[in-house]
Amino acid sequence: MELTPQAVKPVIDVQNLTKDYYIGEIVVRALRGIDMQIFPGEMVAIMGPSGSGKSTLMNMIGCLDSPTSGDYYLDSLRVSDLHDDELAIVRNQKIGFVFQKYNLLPRIDAIENVALPLRYSEDTSNMRQRAEAALESVGLGDRMRHKPNELSGGQQQRVAIARALVNQPAILLADEPTGNLDSQSGKEVMELLIKLNQQQNTTIVLVTHDPTVALHAQRTIQLFDGLIKAPEAIA
Amino acid sequence: MKFWQALKEAIASIAGNKTRSFLTVLGIVIGVGAVIGVLSIGQGAEASIMGQIESIGTNVIYVFRGNRTEDVTNPKYLTTADADALANRARAPHILNIASVLSGQSSVRFGDESAQTSIMGVTGNYAEVIDLKLSEGSFFTESHITNRSSVVVLGPELAERLTGRQTELVGTTVHINNYPFRVVGVAAAKGGNQFSSPDMDAYIPITAMQLRVKRQNVPNAVDFLLIQAQDSNSIDEAMHEGRTLLRASHRLTSRQPDDFTMTNQEDMLSIANSITNILTIFLAGIAAISLLVGGIGIMNIMLVSVTERTREIGLRKALGARKFDIQLQFLTESAMLSVFGGLIGIGLGWLLGEIVGAVAANSGTPLVPEISLNSVLLATLFSLAVGIFFGWYPALRAANLEPVEALRYE
């Protein structure tokens, strides 16, 4: 942390975050007090075995779920106690999601999939142009009218990345982005993410269990039993 | 999300699954079709009945024996004496004409052809009172009445049936109840309905009726009287005057109720109107039940659709859709489905009306089905309401899905 100047505020600031689930009478303590800061322009991997709480943490960072206790500041906005609809606006404006299974809508073509977040935005002007620009930035300017089933897995994931970027979010949250891809496509998607991080200074949070993916990140956060394990920073 | 976007998505979603969408709205199609069809037939029937009643003339009052609202013991028969009593210019200035009618069924024969039909024994001014036009010859006169002449005016359809023609019949002879009658005229067509067909009637002097066709136990009894008022504005006055004179003629004390019933055409119109209305509402109500069933069908499929699209809902929420956006999306879809069904149903109802109209026309009953703009608007709005009502619960379920759960759904 001493590497980062004090003047720069973290884009993600998680303080003593806990999350309990109830399965019947049994309390599952998925997160047991997470402290974590991620700064603008960083590319961070969150790793951990299954059951370690990394999915829960990702849902918290992605504002898909509310913590049981603790504070979460996203882009200086306290989001840990927002209502559902306020969280929806935060997700729309501040977070770009990339899922393992792409999650593109099969009925509509690439450009409409990319434009989907814009439909839920306040600013619905120039939707087409903004979606086109996002698709071009992931190198799919020539595939705009293709439906998801007319695209390869790698291309679909790039459409999903374009969709995540279209609203110019504060962070890109990628959950096992290469998990469904063959190694060549996976490599291309990782290269795209690295390029976005380096050239456009996009803050990227990767959730993965694949060490080779994590290697591309500047640092890795290891989760174990709902807690961050030992030294946060790796060279 | 803007409403027009929701509309676009709904149409795309419906169009993306045409067979299922069509099957989903089939209930609405049938329901709306049945309602529209019944309403159009009902309105057509009403117009047809109204036309018939109006063709009698707007200023005619019918007088029948007996009282339909109060209990009267031994009501006096209406007689030609009553008709004479009503013809009192001084005390009944609003009454123009009185016709007496004694009717019955009898056979009418011309050569080898014969028919069983209504014989109307009437007074000479009957044609004037009900505005009966003749296509040839002339109606019988007072002297025919006085002389109990065996003369007859044939309805055009009866003439056609018996002789195969409607002209050149004056002077020929037909047999009514096996008595020969000389044809003096043929009536012009008046049209008929399901209740009566005046074109099949034969008109003879009431005196000849008493003598040859319908022997009466009560001398000079008639079936009903027709009072013609001066004009359609003086109906009420004419009724009042007629009632006073008839009560006097029947020697009723002021405490006794009327032993006769007077109705005018307006009353008959409103009775016929309310009968057809009740029938129409009753049938449309039954038809509307299928709309309810159709709505449940839509709810069913929308619930399936919500389950099928759980991941999509989760994704949309992750991308920033609020509860309202999701609810709007599904509500728009169910409303659009239902309205589409309603529009197809209006077409089906129109077709149904046309078919019934054609069948009715073929069987000799003129019935022109009418689809009013009101019923079209009502059907559209109703199917919209059905779509929103039955889409509400599925839409709410979709909106309340937890994004995390929904995204994880396989």
* Residue B11 near residue B327, CB atoms below 8 Å: no
Q: How far apart are alpha carbons B113 and B95 in whole angstroms?
A: 42
Q: How far apart are the first and last CA of chain B?
A: 26
Q: How far apart are alpha carbons A34 and A17 in whole angstroms?
A: 5
* Residue A69 near residue A15, CB atoms below 8 Å: no
pLDDT at res. B153: 94
Answer whether residue A106 is part of any domain: yes
Which residues does residue A24 pair with via DSSP β-bridges, in sequence order? none
Q: Check CB contact under 8 Å for B2 and A64.
A: no
Q: How far apart are alpha carbons B226 and B122 in whole angstroms?
A: 10
Point out the residue among A89, A93, A124 whose CB comes nearest to the CB of B2.
Answer: A124
Q: How far is B301 from chain A (nearest CA, A)?
A: 19
- Letter string b/e over residues B307-317, b meaning 16 or more CB atoms within 10 A of that residue's CB: eebbbbbbbbb
Give the residue from chain B lying closest to A91, CA to CA.
B320
Answer whether residue A234 is part of any domain: no
Query: What is the total count of domains within chain A?
Result: 1
- Domain hosting A146: range is 41-64+83-228
pLDDT at res. B186: 93
Q: How far apart are alpha carbons A24 and A2 in whole angstroms?
A: 44
Q: How far apart are alpha carbons B183 and B154 in whole angstroms?
A: 7
Point out the residue among B1, B315, B322 whose CB comes nearest to the CB of A103.
Answer: B315
Q: What is the mean pLDDT of residues A68-84?
A: 89
pLDDT surpasses 90 at A162 = yes
**Collapsed DSSP state (helix, strand, coil) of residue B71:** coil
**Collapsed DSSP state (helix, strand, coil) of residue B103:** strand
* Residue B111 near residue B275, CB atoms below 8 Å: no
| Mean model confidence pLDDT for chain A | 89
pLDDT at res. B57: 64
Q: Which contiguous run of DSSP H or E holds residue A153?
A: helix A153-165
* Residue B208 near residue B121, CB atoms below 8 Å: yes
pLDDT at res. A7: 65
Looking at residue A211, which CATH number applies to its domain?
Answer: 3.40.50.300
pLDDT at res. B6: 87
Residue B244, token pair as written in the block: 């006073």
pLDDT at res. B16: 86
Point out the residue among A108, A121, A124 whose CB comes nearest to the CB of B320.
Answer: A121
Give the residue from chain B lying closest to A117, CA to CA.
B319
Q: How far apart are alpha carbons B27 and B24 in whole angstroms?
A: 7
Answer whether residue A169 is part of any domain: yes
Mutate to test the interface with B, among A107, A108, A113 (most CBs of B within 10 A): A107
| One-letter amino acid for residue A216 of the chain | H
Longest distance between any two alpha carbons in chain A, whole Å: 54
Q: Check CB contact under 8 Å for B407 and A103.
A: yes
Q: Which residues of B touch A59 (CB under 8 A)?
A: 404
Q: Check CB contact under 8 Å for A117 and B320.
A: yes
Point out the residue among A65, A97, A120 whose CB comes nearest to the CB of B404.
Answer: A65
Please, which pLDDT band fits residue A6 given cuts at 50, 70 and 90? low
Residues of chain B with pLDDT below 50 are 193-195
Q: Which residues of A touch B403 (CB under 8 A)?
A: 64-65
| One-letter amino acid for residue A94 of the chain | K
pLDDT at res. A1: 47
Residue-by-residue DSSP string for A49-91: -TTSSHHHHHHHHTTSS--SEEEEEETTEE-TT--HHHHHHHH
The gap from C-alpha A81 to its chain's centroid, in whole angstroms, comes to 20
Cα B403 to Cα A148, A204, B7, B327: the distances in Å are 22, 21, 23, 14
Q: What is the mean pLDDT of residues A16-22?
A: 92
pLDDT surpasses 50 at A235 = no
Give the residue from chain A lying closest to B404, CA to CA.
A64
| Mean model confidence pLDDT for chain B | 88
Q: What is the mean pLDDT of residues A9-19?
A: 93
Q: Which residues contact B136 (CB under 8 A, 6 or more apart)?
A: B166, B167, B168, B169, B170, B185, B186
Q: How far apart are alpha carbons B32 and B77 in whole angstroms?
A: 51
Residue B168, token pair as written in the block: 């050149």
**The total number of residues written for chain B in this structure:** 410
Between A101 and B232, where is the model more confident?
A101
**Tens digit of each residue's pLDDT (9 = 90 or more) over B358-400:** 888 887 677 888 888 888 998 899 999 999 999 999 999 999 9
Q: How far apart are alpha carbons B204 and B150 in whole angstroms?
A: 7
Count contacts between A and B (CB, < 8 Å).
63
Residues of A with CB under 8 A from a CB of B: 59, 62, 64-65, 84-85, 88-89, 91-93, 97, 99, 103, 105, 107-108, 116-117, 119-121, 124, 163, 167
Relative to beta strand B113-122, strand B179-187 is unpaired
Q: How far apart are alpha carbons B226 and B206 in whole angstroms?
A: 14
pLDDT at res. B200: 86
**Tens digit of each residue's pLDDT (9 = 90 or more) over A166-195:** 999 989 999 999 988 998 999 999 999 999
Q: How far apart are alpha carbons B306 and B291 in whole angstroms?
A: 22
